[in-house]
Amino acid sequence: MNKTSKEQLVAELTEKMKEAKAAFVADYRGISVEQANRLRGELYKAGVEYRVVKNTLLKRAIAGTANECLGTYLAGPTSVTIAIGDPVAPAKALSDFAKTTDKFELKGGVLDGKLLSAADIKALADLPSREVLLAKMLGSLNAPASNFVGVLAAIPRSLVLALAAVRDQKAAA
């Protein structure tokens, strides 16, 4: 790459890293082209960008951003996954790929400016999706109202049962 294309790449990466909610770095050494393309496809479905970038260019791109702490993981061959939206989906894709491919190793990442280890990324991958969490929260919010309705419905029902028992008792006598 010549100097101008490197500067353009750094500028592009800087903009993406400023917008990024999360970024993950991994050691891709030893994976085949077919495996790399499969990973790119999975990450594309998750709506994130996966790139192999020189460490020096990535260090320049993250300088001055909230993701600057990511520089501690930039040693050796490095691939970066930039997530602008939901960080759970790419974490799941990367974690699953690391489980199935023994040569692919997660180094770490950053989420909202906080440094993540490889174990933290795996824990993030085990979280349910945003939709599932929202559904659980909505169910929790709805529970007191539905319980209150059940209690209110039980009062007339118990009165009717008591009157029916009195009627049956008088009819038997």
pLDDT of residue 49: 86
Distance of CA 116 to the CA centre of its chain: 13
Task: Render each residue's pLDDT in the chain as its tens digit; 173 residues.
Answer: 788 888 888 888 888 888 888 889 998 888 888 888 888 888 888 888 888 888 888 888 888 787 888 888 888 888 898 888 888 888 888 888 888 888 888 888 888 888 888 888 888 888 877 788 889 888 888 888 888 888 888 888 888 888 898 999 888 87
Q: Cα(17)–Cα(10) distance, rounded to whole angstroms?
A: 10
Distance of CA 9 to the CA centre of its chain: 26
Q: Cα(126)–Cα(76) distance, rounded to whole angstroms?
A: 27
In the block, tokens 């692919």 appear at 104
User: Other C-beta atoms within 10 Å of 48: how many?
Assistant: 25
Count of alpha carbons within 13 Å of 137, Cβ hemisphere only?
A: 7
pLDDT of residue 144: 85
pLDDT of residue 3: 85
pLDDT of residue 114: 86
Q: Where are the chain's structural domains?
A: 3-127, 132-173
User: CA torsion, points 75, 76, 82, 88, in degrees to nearest 10?
Assistant: -90
Strand partners, 63: none
pLDDT of residue 14: 86
pLDDT of residue 126: 83
| CATH 3.40.50.970, applies to 3-127 | no
Q: Which two tokens stand for residue 51?
A: 């790139």
